[in-house]
Amino acid sequence: MLKQPDQTRLAQLVREILAELGENPDREGLLKTPERVAKALATLTQGYRQTPQDVLNGAVFQSAANNMVIVRDIEVYSLCEHHLLPFYGRCHVGYIADGHVVGLSKIARIVDCYARRLQIQERLTEEIAHAIQEITGAEGVGVVMSCAHLCMMMRGVEKQNALTVTSSVLGSFRTSPSVRAEFMSLVK
C-alpha cells in the first residue's frame, strides 16, 4: 500500500504545469488551484492506499443462501491511465453466494477501491470481479460496466455519445449460459 502523496510537492508540480501551459499561477483565479488539484488527485487515487479487506471492515457473513445477489447501477468514476482524464459510468456486480455474503454497501466500496486508481476500464472490471470472488468464495461472479471516457470525448476522436461496455464473468457465470443470461437480463 502506498503512502499519502506529498500535497505540497503535488501543488508545486501543478503550479509548474500551469506556468508551462502559459498561464500565470499567481493570477486571482489560479492562486489556490495547485492546492485544490493536489487535494483532488489525492482523493481520486485513494484506491492505491486501500485494499478490499480495508473497505470490507469484516462485513462478510455466513449465509445458507445460494441465490444470485446483484447490486446494479453503482456510479463509477476513475481516471484513464493514458491521459489522466476521467471516465465515468455505471457498474453492475452480481454473484451467487456459496456460504458467505458480503454487506451490500461493501460491494460499492470495492468498486471505488479499484476505480480510485489510474485505470483502464477493462482491468477495472476484472479486478472487481476477482475481488468479489476472492472475498465471498462465490460460485460465480459477474461484473458489467458501461462508461463514457473523456479522453474520447474531449480530444482525439471527439465522440460525445460513445460508451464502452466491459464484462467479466467467473465461475458459474462463465460456465453456465443460463446463469450468465439471467445475470445479463437482470442488469439491463
Active site annotation includes 133: no
Exactly one of 7, 23, 100, 151 is catalytic; name it.
151
Exactly one of 16, 82, 122, 134 is catalytic; name it.
82
6 three-state secondary structure: coil
Exactly one of 12, 16, 53, 81 is catalytic; name it.
81
Q: How many Cα atoms sit within 13 Å of 89 on the Cβ side?
A: 22
Exactly one of 92, 113, 133, 149 is catalytic; name it.
149
Active site annotation includes 80: yes
115 vs 150: CA distance, rounded Å: 15
**Cβ 42 vs Cβ 79: under 8 Å:** no
Active site annotation includes 82: yes
Cell digits for 81?
A: 491511465
> 59-90 burial, b for 16+ CB within 10 Å, e for fewer?
ebeeeeeeebbbbeebebebbbeeeeebbebb
Exactly one of 7, 83, 100, 130 is catalytic; name it.
83
Exactly one of 50, 80, 133, 147 is catalytic; name it.
80
Exactly one of 50, 121, 133, 147 is catalytic; name it.
121
Nearest to 116 by CA among 34, 48, 14: 48
Active site annotation includes 149: yes
The residues, any chain, with a CB within 8 Å of residue 149's CB and separated by 6 or more, are: 80, 85, 87, 121, 162, 164
Active site annotation includes 83: yes
Cell digits for 186?
A: 437482470
Catalytic residues: 80-83, 121, 149, 151
